[in-house]
Structure 1
């Protein structure tokens, strides 16, 4: 699944922070420090990023149909493209 665009509880936009969150985690930030750096102070918004599981990447590992795999990659590319607009 892709990260929801808004927090389910308060409605704050969080969908644009997912890639930055992953970049900060790879730069050896702790989860709390990364969320603080992104300006997420409400625990409901923090929960949305900390508990998100990227299921599309996990499902692609078990796909036996290569054309379906390409379809998922195309869909994820289009989602990233529209997210940048």
Structure 2
């Protein structure tokens, strides 16, 4: 589904970093750790929110 707007653990806003993280890290341009460092995502819980997220919109949308 959609990336959560806030981190479940600490409440920091992480949703605003998703698009840039996805384009830079998921497409093999850079190491995900370096991308998160450059975006300013420092806490482990917030990094987990972005690294472990999986877009399922294309998978779920045919069933609506």
TM-score by length of 2: 0.85
State which drifts further: 25-34 or 10-19: 25-34
In structure 1, the partner of 2:51 is: 50
Q: Distance in 2 between matches of 1:23 and 1:40?
A: 16
Give the RMSD, CA atoms, in angstroms: 1.6
Structure 2 unaligned regions, length at least 5: none
* Higher helix content, 1 or 2: 1
**Relative CO higher for 1 or 2, CA cutoff 8 Å, sep ≥ 6?**
2
- What residue ranges of structure 1 are gaps of 5+ in the alignment? 69-85
TM-score (norm 1): 0.66
Q: Which has the larger radius of gyration?
A: 1
